[in-house]
Amino acid sequence: MPQSISVPTENEQPSGGIGLSKYLSTAGVCPRRGAQLLVESGRVTVNSVRAERVSMHIFPGDKVCVDGKHVAPVTEKVYVMLHKPRGYVCTVKDRHAEKKAIDLIPLAKQYRLVSAGRLDKDSEGLILFSNDGDFIDRLTHPRYQTMKIYEVSIGDELSSADITRLTVIGIRDQGDLLRAREVTPVLPGKYRFVLTEGKNREIRRMLAALGKETRRLKRVAVGELLMRGLPVGEWKRLSPAEAQLALRSKFTGNGQKSPNRGNYPEKSSFRRG
């Protein structure tokens, strides 16, 4: 029987039924919070009848389809770590994109892998793919405060006032409050950022608000899972134990530091010069 990692899940409903959002998640279609949009757009049917709400129960023998294609809970959960190169996009829906990160993973179509969050086209580094909807939801939902570490080159210096604004005060941009959990100098003009939310282009937007240019941005860790040693453009299939590392964080749910730092990198991979 294939192993799976331990992720908080909803309880099964009485009589063996489960909620539609849970069903779609375990089928690798989308995280649970993405099910609402699928249902509202009329793309989901149950026993040939359009689904009206994500709270409806699915029972053994029911046939669930998305865009007319039958979907069922996956029998083998797969976790993949990719070192995304710059110039690749993480979306799978953009038909006009010349370079998609998922195309670098040969087994992606076989297992219906989707990304757990995104890195923008100009950024590089660690990104995770899986067909385990609960795992993806655990990594991407803001309430879980999953830690992500980035190494950022800006070609300039941040003052102590800048760092206070980035980490304490926060920056308002396009209706969002942007704030890093930590910003640490590594080398001149190079910093380590720690984020626990996944707002779009968050670091670039924060630095732009300070009049700073982001020259290079690289994600090097998710939770306690490090990208160390994985070449650019290469991928690695993770064991359940390795994938579990991504769900660990040095920050607890109340925003305080956990007493156990785990395997976080103390040294930067930045090169001088």
Indicate which residues carry an active-site annotation. Answer: 120
Answer yes or no: are the C-beta atoms of 118 and 112 closer than 8 Å: no
- Residue 91 has φ and ψ, to the nearest 5°, of -70, 150
CA–CA separation, 122 and 136 (whole Å): 23
Q: Which two tokens stand for residue 123?
A: 């950024």
> 242: buried, middle or exposed (CB in 10 Å: 19+, 13-18, 0-12)?
middle
Question: What are the residue ranges of helices labelled H in the chain?
Answer: 20-26, 35-40, 108-111, 133-140, 160-164, 202-209, 240-246
DSSP notation for 55-81: TSEE-TT--EEETTEEE---SS--EEE
Rg (CA), the chain: 20
